Amino acid sequence: LRTEERQRLARERREEREKQHAAKETQILEKERKAKLQYEKQLEERQRKLKEMKQKEEQRRAAVEEKRKQKIEEEKERYEAVMHRTLERNQRLETRQKRWSWGGSVTPDSESKTALLSTGSKRSTSTANLKQAEGAVSKRLSSSAALLNASDRARRSQLSPLDSSVISRLLAPTQASLARSKSAATLSAD
């Protein structure tokens, strides 16, 4: 009986140990499963945050790029506006210079030409006066030039050829001075 009792007790102890061992194993497996789930959750969370950060960075870059493009477009428009204003100013200056130069026409557009033709008789008298004034101015200029030439010939004979050519160039009336005197004559005639 004692032997049987010992064997029974030994078998019960062994079964108890196996139960404990099995319980420990299940606990370990449960812990591993929970740890694995936790790790996967953390990994998913990290990936989600990384994705959000990437999206935010892409949005920020897109906004910066859009701002840069907009700034370039504004600068381009500003530059084109400046160029347009400069071209207009140059054209106005050119037309003004043509209007007041002797080479260009006094009336640049055809409407003013027709207006001149329609005023007819009024203008014809002022045109005759203008021609007379121009004739007087040109006579004065030619007589003054003749006087200058006569008095300067005596002096030039004493100078070297280089000096005499420089002085003759300086004394000759320029187109600008002739134009000024003509415009003064026309203003006085009006």
Residues 6+ apart with CB under 8 A from 186: 130, 133, 134
Under 8 Å between Cβ of 148 and 160: no
Q: Quick one: which of 99, 115, 118 has its CA closest to 107?
A: 99
Per-residue pLDDT of 15-47, as tens digits, reads 999 999 999 999 999 999 999 999 999 999 999
CA 179 to chain centre: 40
8: enclosing H helix or E strand? helix 2-100
Region 61-67: mean pLDDT is 96
Residues 6+ apart with CB under 8 A from 17: none
CA 129 to chain centre: 52
Which range, of 51-60, 103-112, 171-180, averages the lowest pLDDT? 103-112
Alpha carbon separation from 23 to 13, 16, 20, 26 (Å, rounded): 15, 10, 5, 5
Region 54-65: mean pLDDT is 96
